[in-house]
């Protein structure tokens, strides 16, 4: 099934498919495939929304086709091509929800990536890493003093007024 | 009848007006595409813009958010910074008066967090030929905290310093986002405003201490203002501070910028207009410090013992510079007069 048809199917689940697309979908060969796909998505949606599972056996395609042919008075409810329970009560499509979850998840993942940056050791092999955790309090205090003094040097300048302040505050924090 | 212009003349006049408009628009656009225009704007923008907002600051795996208010009022800079995460603390500055309310952090003496030296006012990039050490380039436009910004890349011309990237607000030139990048383009630290109001009418109440707590205030010694000190003057003053030791090597473009005021004769800061590092030289007697390096975000710490005429000294370099640079600086320290340095601690 191509993407365009999947899109139509997805739109139908949202009650947003236009008539032309639905016609195209129903006139397509391999209705079984379409039906299976639609039912699968319905199940996924029901699962996400914790609704009662849709009745799998109902095939409404004939009814929809009839509506489109104008055999019955057209209402949007009937054209929805969905099982009776799929009204307008829900606003988020399963597809949209999954997409949102992905986007949010991905965005959060990139934003909070805090993998430690290792100094390039190739030319500097042999320089011991200062184990700040292993320092005694006096040593740590001395180091903090240096960091704070340095931070205050660039508290206004260096093009980052806020950054200088932030460095000073950050240096006094639990990080060191 | 004679006052009626022939249609041809009116058309020509219109055309002239349109052409002039297009040319002047072009000039403005050209100016805005010129990185130097934005670099020149940066210094004044940092001091003279009045704004209030919240920014996020990240270095290494630490992320913190802070609220800041800044205004230029009757020729005096007023600032208030309030930490938004963890224990509450704030810093209020009015001209040279600084008041801090800070939480206790373990055993660290926090009064030392108050800027006791002059607020590095020599670090105004107007004085520094930043473009000699960084290649500036306008790399695009963006929107930060609801404001239109210009993205300015400052790529280091050598590997002795880090590259920077700034997002500058279009009308004022105020940096709303800034990044420090390693040679391989890795982001080492950044700040980023998430909300911001630029307004010349911030109320006085925005600049008043509101937190209850241990309050410490200090008046900064009257140092040279950014306008008053030229670089030669700063260097001269620095000669005295560097008494007892000298640097045999420093990366090109770095000049002594601020004298730390906390009484240790052995500390000097250097800046190239964007980045800075501080060098501390002290007798190793006081605290037994290990040698080595440590990094958080863009800040490198390098410590090393130095033996000079049977006396041991501790040389520490702290700065937003690569480890290679810090190492070379530390190794170039030459003790000239150990008694000057020693006398300060004993």
Residue of B nearest to A158 (CA): B274
B200 shares a domain with B83: yes
B196 shares a domain with B84: yes
In this structure, what CATH number is given to the domain that contains residue B212? 2.50.20.10
Q: Which range of residues forms the domain containing residue A73?
A: 3-86
Nearest beta carbon to residue A156 from set B121, B166, B299: B121
pLDDT for residue B161 is more than 50: yes
Look at chain B and report how many structural domains it folds into: 2
CA distance B193 to chain A (A): 10
Could you tell me if residue B318 is inside a domain? yes
B270 shares a domain with B211: no
Q: Which range of residues forms the domain containing residue B115?
A: 36-219
pLDDT level of residue A121 (50, 70, 90 thresholds): very low
A77 shares a domain with A10: yes
Top pLDDT among B336 and B121 is at B336
B43 shares a domain with B163: yes
CA distance B28 to chain A (A): 24
Could you tell me if residue A63 is inside a domain? yes
B248 shares a domain with B209: no
pTM for the complete prediction?
Answer: 0.62
Q: Which residues of A touch B291 (CB under 8 A)?
A: 128
Question: Per residue in B16-27, is it b (16+ CB within 10 Å) or e — as a string?
Answer: eeeeeeeeeeee
pLDDT in tens, B33-80: 889 899 888 877 877 889 999 988 887 777 888 888 888 888 887 888
CA distance A90 to chain B (A): 32
A147 shares a domain with A72: no
A101 touches chain B (CB under 8 A): no
Please tell me the predicted confidence (pLDDT) of residue A88. 37
B266 shares a domain with B177: no
B200 shares a domain with B67: yes
Please tell me the predicted confidence (pLDDT) of residue B168. 92
Look at chain A and report how many structural domains it folds into: 2
Residue of B nearest to A152 (CA): B115
The per-residue pLDDT of chain A, averaged, comes to 59
């Amino acid at each position: 099934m191509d993407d365009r048809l999947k899109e139509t199917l997805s739109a139908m689940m949202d009650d947003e498919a236009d008539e032309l697309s639905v016609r195209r979908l129903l006139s397509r060969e391999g209705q079984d495939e379409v039906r299976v796909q639609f039912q699968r998505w319905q199940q996924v949606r029901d699962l996400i929304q914790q609704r009662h599972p849709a009745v799998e056996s109902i095939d409404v395609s004939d009814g929809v086709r009839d509506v489109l042919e104008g055999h019955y008075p057209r209402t949007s409810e009937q054209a929805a091509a969905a099982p009776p329970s799929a009204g307008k009560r829900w606003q988020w499509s399963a597809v949209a929800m999954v997409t949102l979850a992905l986007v949010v998840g991905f965005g959060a993942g990139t934003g909070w990536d805090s993998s430690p940056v290792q100094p390039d050791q190739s030319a500097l092999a042999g320089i011991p890493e200062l184990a700040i955790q292993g320092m005694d309090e006096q040593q740590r205090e001395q180091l903090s003093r240096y960091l704070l003094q340095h931070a205050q040097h660039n508290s206004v300048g260096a093009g980052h007024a806020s950054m200088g302040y932030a460095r000073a505050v950050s240096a006094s924090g639990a990080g060191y | 009848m004679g006052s009626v212009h022939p249609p041809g003349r009116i058309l020509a006049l219109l055309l002239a007006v349109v052409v002039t408009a297009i040319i002047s628009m072009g000039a403005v656009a050209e100016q805005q595409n010129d990185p130097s225009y934005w670099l020149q704007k940066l210094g004044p923008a940092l001091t003279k813009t009045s704004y209030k907002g919240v920014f996020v600051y990240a270095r290494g795996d630490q992320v913190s958010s802070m609220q800041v208010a800044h205004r230029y009022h009757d020729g005096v800079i007023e600032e208030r910074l309030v930490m938004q995460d963890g224990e509450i603390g704030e810093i209020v500055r009015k001209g040279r008066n600084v008041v801090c309310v800070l939480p206790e952090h373990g055993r660290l003496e926090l009064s030392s967090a108050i800027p006791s030296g002059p607020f590095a006012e020599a670090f105004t990039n107007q004085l520094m030929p930043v473009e000699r050490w960084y290649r500036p380039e306008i790399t695009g436009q963006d929107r930060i905290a609801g404001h239109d910004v210009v993205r300015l890349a400052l790529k280091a011309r050598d590997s002795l310093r880090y590259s920077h990237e700034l997002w500058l607000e279009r009308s004022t030139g105020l940096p709303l986002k800034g990044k420090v990048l390693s040679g391989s383009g890795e982001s080492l630290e950044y700040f980023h405003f998430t909300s911001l109001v630029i307004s010349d009418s911030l109320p006085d109440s925005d600049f008043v201490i509101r937190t209850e707590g241990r309050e410490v205030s200090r008046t900064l010694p009257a140092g040279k203002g950014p306008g008053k000190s030229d670089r030669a003057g700063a260097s001269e003053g620095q000669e005295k501070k560097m008494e007892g030791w000298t640097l045999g090597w420093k990366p090109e473009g770095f000049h002594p910028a601020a004298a730390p005021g906390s009484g240790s004769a052995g500390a000097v800061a250097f800046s190239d207009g964007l980045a800075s590092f501080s060098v501390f030289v002290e007798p190793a007697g006081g605290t037994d410090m290990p040698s080595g390096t440590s990094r958080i975000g863009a800040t490198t710490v390098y410590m090393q013992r130095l033996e000079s005429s049977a006396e041991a000294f501790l040389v520490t370099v702290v700065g937003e510079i690569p480890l290679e640079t810090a190492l070379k600086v530390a190794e170039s320290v030459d003790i000239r007069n150990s008694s000057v340095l020693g006398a300060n601690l004993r």
